[in-house]
Structure 1
């Protein structure tokens, strides 16, 4: 009897201890979650699960501010680039059926692209080493935005007209959405059914993801859908999303359905283990260099555990999905306002629930760089075509100054060659020899040190550059006119932009889509064309109309 009482007491004690521990986790998770609460505004939804069962679940804010509809379990968010893993999985299901190979040249399925200067494989579309100009920049140059009714057919047609690339395929990694739009088109052509239908029948239904769907045209009705919002002068404004592009984005889903999806990383109940292995395998450049991005997914080591992850952002929606196979642990978070950065809460939940399994957080013992090192980092760097930053050293500190501005940003030291970019969460600059890598959340942008020679309009003949220039791939024109002593680029739909001389026959602007314009001359020294470059669309040729 005494033994039975002891066992009973022990069971009660364990139950109390477990309950207290669970409550402690929830309290810590709540403290992370409610930092993001917006009074009478948009919000977010999160689920943290282990073995497919929720450890923590919470919602806050409105999915629709106008009608005061709260976010709940059934709220569907546009999850942006999280869509990409479903696109790749669809492609690999077709490969499993021997209907294609991911190492096939894309021209086997997209013969319209035979005029491209280099061969591109399906794999290159999926791992962002293809060199395609990003469709966001291409649309912007045409004067098209998220508020316009841009459908999948229009976007595919635009990409299939492209005749140039940013770089030779396989030479570098450059994240872009164009490759995934084309992947969705290949799924459609090979399977014989629309991409949206393929994903619904082959993925969503088998996994019982009943609240997930890819948008199918601007008139699609998506029930329980959240709207997205941005804040301006303490007021929230509706951010419309009229694009209906899929492959790179376009998935509306719930955090609950995303949890269901990640179980394929563990039990492979859909497809095969080989499919998941291909998706998370780091990619290899032509040089042999390994990059962490696989096929629609990326992996990293976080405090000693392997994390499979991808984020997403479209319009003002923000989302993040991560999975730790070793612990069958998942975090799915989605929000509907622009300033929400999901990385803080996603990785914070790992710290809360897996703390005992993680390596301790460490701080570099001597992070401060020497004065010589700081001086070596100073100079001018080109991040994108036409976008330059100046790194300055002063009082044993570094500062960042965008070109043609007087604004300076102090860069706090993280380590000898790493500095925090404080205006944006999870952002830092890491310096190498005459180069730097600018990290924005999970993205990184390489920049090379350059030398700029001062030049002004008095040193050029403005009249030489005036005229109207046309590009057939985009089917759009830009006209360069003189206004006072300035050259202004005019477009039918885009705002006027001033061209600022940066070199002989080369100009930059403060526009991300029209970052740099390089004029070209014939043998008679007459300007006959120009090449326009944006952040991720380089050297697009425009031919000058004859007068």
Structure 2
């Protein structure tokens, strides 16, 4: 009887300890803890043990299936650490070296003017174009299939690097796709099979797989959703087989086995796993805090090993604090979900003031809206540069301040003080600075944007830009024409979209499908170069 009472007391104490943690995590995820809302699966590991796991929200809205710790998610770029493990293992076995030219194993990669090494692929310093933006520029729509074979063909077609290898850090999914191809070539085993044999089977991650066929039926799989219109959730297609960079499907329960194992091997000084944490530096010695599929950062004496992911409506993260023996895994099927922010909120329950404070965006929406002085507001009108190719223009129309970023619609603002406007569409404030005859700059979400004098475009010159432009690299054409005073692009698969003139650089135009810089010679316009995020200067020749 005494032994029975002792067990009951111990269980009661455990529940007393666990209850506040569950209550706190429930509060963090309260927004998603309702039926009919895509949500998340959450798992917390401390001292090598799972101390919390729970599902919030709905895995499939059509069948009202709830999310549980056994729900399967596409973990997107969180997959990269498994590729990093594979590469580190091959290095340890002496089969490859980080400084090997990748063409030693993948001779089909073009011979560029500079050598790309395995190290460049690992740390995202290769200069290879990132496949999502590249294939989209070639005509792939976001709601259709992207296959591993498409990515490899794209690499074979690349004409120039975005930059000299080692000169810059630019996150490239393509690099990790090539690492997966390299693993298969060197080991003689298909990449999905290699991961299965070296990770999933030994760790009994029985619900996990590397997807090489997007038509495969996956039991207990969550669907992914988007709510961008703010009215109703819509399914997002997830037809992707990007081996190496993404396309691992698993659960928080399975991932906990990997994370516990990873912590144990780090503590045991296993060289394969320690190598995964090695960061690198650029040619100019600037540090790159990205290891083998893992971001490794230390702040306030706290080391965080992590990686997030996002594809379709899936948002995912594994966040580890190895010195504190703490790890958080969060997998979501809601495109609006903030995995890193929510994981950090959980970590603060344990580490409290040891973690840096999370910046809080000031919400001025509930402050009274004032009537502005027209003479003062005129000082704020004009164009400001937020970033490269990113400008915002303020105009005074019928007593109301309006704002428009390039490539976007025009939105109204609310006046909150003599220097501060609230932009409901941006859910953010704008503060004007250094005001004399005109405001010299503004502050927006931490960005100090100087006032600039826009380039005046002679609309009659637009006709000279019209024509058909073809890219041999992408094997696609854009037809440019002038419609209603606007430079309009037509693409067979992407449809019609407008290019707005750059505010500063002449012969540069921007759209939601990238920025183009026209090439001028004595004989006229001969082509343009297209850039878009992680892709730079793809050549299109005028036909």
Instruction: Pick closer, same or farther for the CA change 1:29–1:302 going to 2, 3 Å.
Output: farther
Aligned-partner SS, 2:354: coil
1:246 aligns with 2:243: yes
- The alpha carbon displacement at 1:379 in A equals 8.0
Task: Look up the match of 2:232.
Answer: 235
Tell whether the 8 Å contact from 2:266 to 2:273 is kept in structure 1 after alignment. no
Q: Distance in 1 between matches of 2:340 and 2:423?
A: 16
Gaps of 5+ in 2: 360-378, 396-401, 417-421, 432-439
Instruction: Pick closer, same or farther for the CA change 1:320–1:53 going to 2, 3 Å.
Output: same
Gaps of 5+ in 1: 365-374, 393-398, 413-419, 441-445
Q: TM-score, normalised by structure 2?
A: 0.81
Instruction: Pick closer, same or farther for the CA change 1:262–1:437 going to 2, 3 Å.
Output: farther
1:468 aligns with 2:465: no
- The alpha carbon displacement at 1:218 in A equals 2.5
Q: Distance in 2 between matches of 1:289 and 1:427?
A: 34
Pick aligned residue for 2:78 from 78, 82, 92:
82
Task: Look up the match of 1:510.
Answer: 511
Instruction: Pick closer, same or farther for the CA change 1:379–1:114 going to 2, 3 Å.
Output: same
- The alpha carbon displacement at 1:236 in A equals 1.4
Task: Look up the match of 2:191.
Answer: 195
Aligned-partner SS, 1:496: strand
Task: Look up the match of 1:525.
Answer: 523
Q: Distance in 1 between matches of 2:358 and 2:518?
A: 50
Tell whether the 8 Å contact from 2:35 to 2:58 is kept in structure 1 after alignment. no
1:35 aligns with 2:36: no
Q: TM-score, normalised by structure 1?
A: 0.81
Q: Distance in 2 between matches of 1:114 and 1:542?
A: 19
Summarize deviations over 1:203-247 as a string: whole Å, max 9, x none: 111111111111112322222211101123421111111122221
Aligned-partner SS, 1:538: strand
Task: Look up the match of 2:363.
Answer: none
Q: Distance in 1 between matches of 2:343 and 2:95?
A: 37
1:158 aligns with 2:154: yes
Pick aligned residue for 2:329 from 312, 332, 350:
332
Q: Distance in 1 between matches of 2:484 and 2:427?
A: 41
Instruction: Pick closer, same or farther for the CA change 1:381–1:497 going to 2, 3 Å.
Output: same
Aligned-partner SS, 1:139: helix
Q: Distance in 2 between matches of 1:213 and 1:64?
A: 20
Summarize deviations over 1:398-435 as a string: whole Å, max 9, x none: x997346654889x9xxxxxxx9998999999xxxx99
Q: Distance in 1 between matches of 2:296 and 2:443?
A: 19
Tell whether the 8 Å contact from 2:136 to 2:142 is kept in structure 1 after alignment. no
Instruction: Pick closer, same or farther for the CA change 1:427–1:262 going to 2, 3 Å.
Output: farther
- The alpha carbon displacement at 1:501 in A equals 2.7
Q: Distance in 1 between matches of 2:12 and 2:518?
A: 75
Q: Distance in 2 between matches of 1:391 and 1:75?
A: 47
- Greater than 4 Å deviation, 4+ residue runs: 8-19, 269-272, 360-364, 389-392, 404-410, 420-429, 434-440, 446-452
- The alpha carbon displacement at 1:72 in A equals 1.9
Q: Which one is further off, 191-200 or 252-261?
A: 191-200
Cα RMSD (Å) of the superposition? Answer: 4.0
Task: Look up the match of 1:494.
Answer: 494
Task: Look up the match of 2:19.
Answer: 23
- The alpha carbon displacement at 1:189 in A equals 1.4
Instruction: Pick closer, same or farther for the CA change 1:436–1:197 going to 2, 3 Å.
Output: farther
Task: Look up the match of 2:370.
Answer: none
Instruction: Pick closer, same or farther for the CA change 1:15–1:271 going to 2, 3 Å.
Output: closer
Tell whether the 8 Å contact from 1:93 to 1:271 is kept in structure 2 after alignment. no
Q: Distance in 2 between matches of 1:188 and 1:75?
A: 29
